[in-house]
Chains A and B, each alone.
Chain A
Amino acid sequence: MAMTAAEIEQLIKAGIPDAEVTITDLAGDGDHYSARVVSRTFAGLPRVRQHQKVYAALGARMGGQLHALQLQTAVPEEMESD
């Protein structure tokens, strides 16, 4: 049932090709991960929309096969206006 960090990263990158993805296995059990996803496509989007893009990339697995994913999204630093 559990997914590997590499699988999660692949799926996110398939959906968001320019994404820089950092996955951390929080509990070392292959079931609780955190992901930091940085993409230019997030620019100007509210956080909810950014997370939705990541969830869309993960598809039906999110909330099922992949229960625990802490998610953090950002645009690349050079694009931040402030």
Chain B
Amino acid sequence: MTSAKERIDEIVRSNDIVLFMKGTELFPQCGFSSRAVAILEHLQVPFKTVDVLQDPDIRQEIKHYSDWPTIPQLYVKGEFVGGSDIMMEMFESGELQQLVSAEAA
């Protein structure tokens, strides 16, 4: 059995842009997750989502993984970027566009 931490490691390493969220891209189950998806869609970059509601082990472990108590959580190229508030601030300042376009290039 691989541990939840190993599974998160694998997901974060193998996807340049990944959002751990509640619900799916089409049906977010929480306002914060919904906002995070909307921001990523606006950036028009490919991203992977992981629905933590479908995976209690990941839901629990992800909070320790990044020392961050809430979901959604965005990772870009293996680095924890932040939750939806930080995503919004970075989006408004243009930093998020820069960060993800650097990944796409």
Chain A contact residues, CB within 8 Å of chain B: 47-48, 51-52, 55, 58, 62-63, 68-72
Which of B31, B68, B69, B89 touches A72 (beta carbons < 8 Å)?
Answer: B89
- A-B contacts at CB below 8 angstroms, number: 34
Distance A71 CA – B32 CA, assembled complex (angstroms): 12
In the bound complex, do residue A70 and residue B85 qualify as a contact, i.e. CB atoms below 8 Å apart? yes
Contacts of A72 in B (CB 8 A): 85, 89
Which of the residues B31, B70, B82, B86 comes within 8 Å of A63, measured between beta carbons? B70
12 A-B contacts (beta carbon < 8 Å): A48-B68, A51-B83, A51-B86, A55-B69, A55-B70, A58-B69, A63-B63, A63-B69, A69-B70, A70-B85, A71-B85, A72-B89
Find chain A residues with CB under 8 A from B90 CB: 47
Given pairs A51-B82, A63-B70, 15 additional interface contacts (CB within 8 A): A47-B82, A47-B86, A48-B80, A48-B82, A51-B68, A51-B86, A52-B67, A55-B70, A58-B69, A62-B70, A63-B63, A68-B31, A68-B32, A71-B85, A72-B85
